DNA sequence: GCATTTGTCGGTATACATTTG
DNA sequence: GCAAATGTATACCGACAAATG
């Protein structure tokens, strides 16, 4: 029998005792999931403590633990020892970002594309490659991790970014997201924990969710994640890895100074973490800041998986990324590549290699940089943010909202006015931070004029 | 204190009591994993019953359960209620099959390639596509699940195979293995169970292992999986899905008659399973048996994910597969595609579409069929198996071994003689069956002559 | 800075289902 | 067909750790 009467106590969730069936923990989890998805328990709601709910339902409190845990692994909840259990911000909807089913007529500040205006140069490379003799070497099962000369091109591409590696430490996969999937499957297991920025790449959040890998948000400042916070986080729980985008964090655009990278590296080494370093924007930012970013991979080569996608810097439709890893990870990484992809199209890899070797890729990067410059300048006209810590050439900006808004309603209101943009909640790991932002992609509009029209609408909406 | 003295009893595994640390179940699992990988516990060994080992170690028997379960999810063990717990056949080594690091000089009967001799026709299509105007539509982020006209080509390709679907029920991904990854991630969770043939596609086994999805072997006869066995299996445990390759099961080459498909479908519907139907060989087998296979997807459209890869039938290097699913799965499948791939190269999709629409794909299939016919005829000369239940045009044969051999030693002996071939144990789910086989791929040798030389070596080795 | 609140983890108890002989 | 052997599932207990005030 319950000891207390709960009639007078307010309890944020009061499931029907009679609805409980055996197994209790499963039916409880089902009820909870239902009440969250149906909106009875809005995001941020603090659920009753395990012991209190258990008492109310007259069951053991660890049975509630189990029900909560089931929902937590689905990403519906977020629990903190000492504070309580809360409904996740992104519990109800998926935050997956894609260009699937966007209204045709909208101005897209949502998905971060890559200034597709430069694709005519890629077309040339496609024609050049396909005119060659010996095309058939690209049409078979051989070289699942890349043809040797393609890996050479990869190394050549990454050398200016500060990567020193040999051909056995590189593999070719199908874009950064694919690289993340491969890496998570190769080196982590369900239940593993990975430290991330409080706001991080939303598709990584979703991927981790589906692999049942737990992301632990670590606070940061204007230079990125805070080493002492990472230290605290590693002390408190068993963390196996860390995900970083030091050159330009998506969504905050923060460029992490080398000093900060070194401090983090020392914490990482001390706690034996595996680093996933996503350097997707590196090539686009080289030579534009006071110092060029030194990859964390070079500080910790034996524990880092470095991902260098060419989809942002060269061409988004030719799905390609290079992964650099240590010899000790090679076996696991190659096997994982095989399980997820078998191989990446050698034809696609060849097109990118051709662009790199011919030097045309550098032209593309230079062109995209100039487009990024113009777009950022225009953005600054509309939204001057003098203290913006983001990288000046970023393909997206992190715009602080003057007053709190309802995230998904705000997004859909703007969409109704013809602009797609994403609220910071989409990128949030766990429960809320005080400040709200918008991520405004500048690289998906076809022209400066379209960008201007979009910014106009955006400004008038704030 | 243990009640019995175990000094006289033979117990297959006697871990050191003193080595146990807390948490007990984890250190026990580690010791078990170590003793398996180091070969002290060879495949097939029956481990001590949970209660007996617990008594020996003076711990609760469910703690042993947990240690065993940990290893089981890693694919090291295989437990059957009533019978006991056994070390898996493929516990130690990975059975992943790839063309990575095969000795250059060997005759490959291992990996099932796809008679790459027809690739000159694909080269033509590459050139044709790249010469077209408007190539840039293939170089951006749009249409992550396929451009509409490419999906039309997909439907056109699958219509002769018996598939009726609409464009919203199709998506384009990067080959069958990639389709399997996407599907498992979209529709299953760690701990889910999927029924499979006792011998099944080894890369599917490895993928399931890495996703912690449990495969339940279901016995079959010469027509494939037995409905009554599936029924029994579903009754006994909570099974969520079933994986089938009805047109030509890899590795057994069994073609499942429509009658059997219908019987299985009724069991599947009764137990509410999700079907993953891998029809990778369908196009290559049409019109060669008394009746054409009717896809299970057509019998159970609302619960089937149908995978039709073009890597075997058209070209292996252009990584492409079509997935057909029900409207109710659409959201989850698209999201999963986005998480794993973002998108599949539209250029690659276009090349295959071009081959399909121009009719050239049919020529390729016809050519591959003729090559398969010759190869199978040659194989029959060397290894007449009058009662072979396999499909006559299969790209690989399931060769019964006259006497038992040591699986991995046999493989490496043959490799030393210049032939790579795989023993049936690689394809085995759980623990052993009585009969041993070899899977002999006929589609990876460059010529009939090379095939003949390989078969010669193989015959002399048996 | 310590007590309280709250979540986490590992081990245990019990009921049950299946296989085997 | 029944009893014994054996694995599975779920609830519960207690020690512990982190956050809060």
Residue nearest to nucleotide C5 (CA to C1'): A82
Chain A residues whose beta carbon lies within 8 Å of the beta carbon of residue B141: 99, 111, 113, 316-317
Chain A residues whose beta carbon lies within 8 Å of the beta carbon of residue B203: 338-339, 342
B152-183: per-residue pLDDT in tens?
999 999 999 999 999 999 999 999 999 999 99
Q: Is the pLDDT of residue A449 over 90?
A: yes
Residues 386-445 of chain B with CB under 8 A from chain A are none
Which domains can be identified in chain A, with CATH numbers?
A: 17-87 (1.10.10.10), 107-118+362-461 (3.90.1150.10), 141-358 (3.40.640.10)
A204 token code pair: 């990584």
Q: Look at B203 and A338 and tell me if their CB atoms are within 8 Å.
A: yes
Chain B residues whose beta carbon lies within 8 Å of the beta carbon of residue A334: 98, 100
> Taking phi first (over 0 means left), then psi (-120 to 50 degrees means alpha), and beta for anything else, what does residue A430 get?
left
**Does A395 or A91 have the greater pLDDT score?**
A395
Looking at residue B103, what is its pLDDT? 64
Q: What is the largest CA-CA distance in chain A?
A: 83
Q: Rounded to 5 degrees, what are φ and ψ at B172?
A: -105, 125
* Crossing angle for the helix pair A119-131 and A360-382, to the nearest 10 degrees: 160
A210-249: per-residue pLDDT in tens?
787 878 888 888 999 999 888 888 877 778 899 999 999 9
Q: Is the pLDDT of residue A74 over 80?
A: no
Residues 356-375 of chain B with CB under 8 A from chain A are none
Write the residue in A123, A185, A347 that is nearest to B136 by C-beta.
A123
Interface test with B, best of A150, A347, A350, A352 (most B CBs within 10 A): A347
Cis peptide before B111 (omega within 30 of 0): no
Looking at residue A177, what is its pLDDT? 95
The rounded percent of chain A whose pLDDT value lies above 70 is: 94
Looking at residue B93, what is its pLDDT? 65
Looking at residue A5, what is its pLDDT? 39
**Does A75 or B170 have the greater pLDDT score?**
B170
Write the residue in A94, A120, A175 that is nearest to B335 by C-beta.
A94
Average pLDDT of chain A to the nearest whole number? 88
| A136 in contact with B, Cβ within 8 Å | yes
Q: Name the nt closest to A47 by C-alpha to C1'.
A: C6
| B116 in contact with A, Cβ within 8 Å | yes
Rg of chain A over Cα atoms, rounded to whole angstroms, equals 24
| A76 in contact with B, Cβ within 8 Å | no
Looking at residue B2, what is its pLDDT? 36
> Cα(B87)–Cα(B85) distance, rounded to whole angstroms?
7
**Distance in angstroms: CA A300, C1' C1:** 40
Q: Look at B123 and A140 and tell me if their CB atoms are within 8 Å.
A: no
Q: Is the pLDDT of residue A91 over 70?
A: no
Looking at residue A1, what is its pLDDT? 32
A313-363: per-residue pLDDT in tens?
999 999 999 999 999 999 889 989 999 999 999 999 999 999 999 999 999
For residue B55, how far is the Cα from the chain centroid? 40
Q: Which stretches in chain B have pLDDT values below 50? A: 1-9
**Distance in angstroms: CA A82, C1' C4:** 10
A386-419: per-residue pLDDT in tens?
888 899 999 999 998 888 777 777 888 888 888 9
Looking at residue A8, what is its pLDDT? 41
Looking at residue B1, what is its pLDDT? 31
B388-447: per-residue pLDDT in tens?
889 999 999 999 888 878 777 788 889 889 999 998 888 888 665 667 899 999 999 988
Looking at residue B321, what is its pLDDT? 98
Write the residue in B203, B311, B348 that is nearest to A347 by C-beta.
B348
Residues 171-200 of chain A with CB under 8 A from chain B are 174-175, 177-178, 181, 185, 189-190
B276 token code pair: 């993953």
Residue nearest to nucleotide C16 (CA to C1'): B81
Q: Look at B335 and A116 and tell me if their CB atoms are within 8 Å.
A: no
Q: Look at B347 and A342 and tell me if their CB atoms are within 8 Å.
A: no
Nearest alpha-carbon partner for B243 in B188, B317, B319, B171: B188
Degrees (nearest 5) of the Cα angle A243, A78, B209? Answer: 60
Looking at residue B105, what is its pLDDT? 77
Confidence of residue A103 (pLDDT cuts 50, 70, 90): low
Confidence of residue A188 (pLDDT cuts 50, 70, 90): confident
Q: Residues B353, B149: contact at Cβ < 8 Å?
A: yes
Of chain B residues 11-70, which have a beta carbon within 7 Å of strand D? 47, 49-52, 61-62, 65, 68-69
């Amino acid at each position: 029998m319950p000891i207390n009467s709960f009639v007078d106590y307010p309890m944020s969730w009061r499931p029907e005792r009679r609805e409980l069936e055996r197994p209790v923990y499963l039916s409880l989890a089902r009820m909870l999931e239902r009440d969250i998805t149906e909106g009875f328990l809005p995001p941020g709601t603090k659920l009753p403590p395990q012991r209190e709910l258990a008492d109310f339902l007259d069951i053991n409190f660890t049975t509630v633990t189990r029900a909560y845990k089931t929902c937590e692994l689905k990403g519906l909840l977020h629990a903190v020892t000492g504070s309580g259990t809360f409904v996740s911000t992104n519990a109800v909807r998926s935050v997956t970002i894609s260009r699937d089913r966007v209204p045709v007529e909208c101005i897209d500040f949502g998905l971060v594309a890559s200034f597709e205006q430069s694709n005519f140069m890629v077309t040339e490379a496609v024609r050049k490659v396909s005119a060659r003799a010996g095309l058939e070497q690209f049409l078979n099962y051989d070289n699942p991790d890349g043809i040797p000369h393609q890996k050479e091109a990869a190394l050549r591409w990454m050398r200016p970014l500060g990567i020193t590696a040999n051909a056995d430490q590189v593999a070719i996969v199908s874009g950064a997201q694919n690289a993340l999937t491969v890496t998570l499957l190769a080196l982590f297991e369900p239940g593993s924990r990975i430290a991330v920025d409080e706001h991080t790449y939303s598709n990584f959040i979703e991927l981790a969710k589906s692999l049942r890998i737990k992301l632990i948000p670590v606070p940061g400042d204007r230079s990125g994640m805070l080493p002492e916070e990472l230290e605290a986080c590693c002390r408190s729980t068993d963390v196996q890895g860390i995900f970083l985008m030091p050159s330009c964090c998506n969504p905050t655009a923060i460029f992490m100074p080398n000093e900060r990278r070194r401090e983090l590296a020392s914490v990482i080494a001390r706690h034996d973490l595996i680093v996933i370093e996503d350097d997707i924007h590196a090539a686009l930012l080289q030579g534009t800041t006071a110092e060029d970013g030194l990859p964390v991979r070079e500080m910790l080569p034996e524990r880092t998986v470095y991902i260098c996608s060419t989809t942002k810097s060269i061409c988004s439709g030719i799905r390609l990324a290079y992964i650099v890893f240590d010899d000790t990870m090679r076996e696991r990484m190659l096997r994982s590549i095989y399980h997820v992809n078998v191989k990446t199209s050698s034809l696609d890899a060849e097109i990118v290699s051709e662009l790199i070797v011919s030097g045309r890729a550098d032209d593309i990067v230079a062109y995209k940089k100039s487009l990024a410059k113009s777009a950022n300048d225009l953005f600054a006209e509309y939204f001057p943010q003098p203290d913006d810590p983001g990288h000046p050439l970023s393909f997206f900006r992190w715009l602080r909202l003057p007053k709190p808004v309802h995230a998904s309603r705000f997004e859909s209101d703007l969409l109704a006015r013809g602009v797609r943009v994403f609220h910071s909640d989409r990128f949030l790991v766990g429960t809320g931070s005080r400040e709200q932002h918008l991520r405004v992609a500048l690289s998906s509009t076809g022209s400066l004029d379209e960008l201007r029209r979009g910014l106009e609408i955006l400004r008038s909406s704030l």
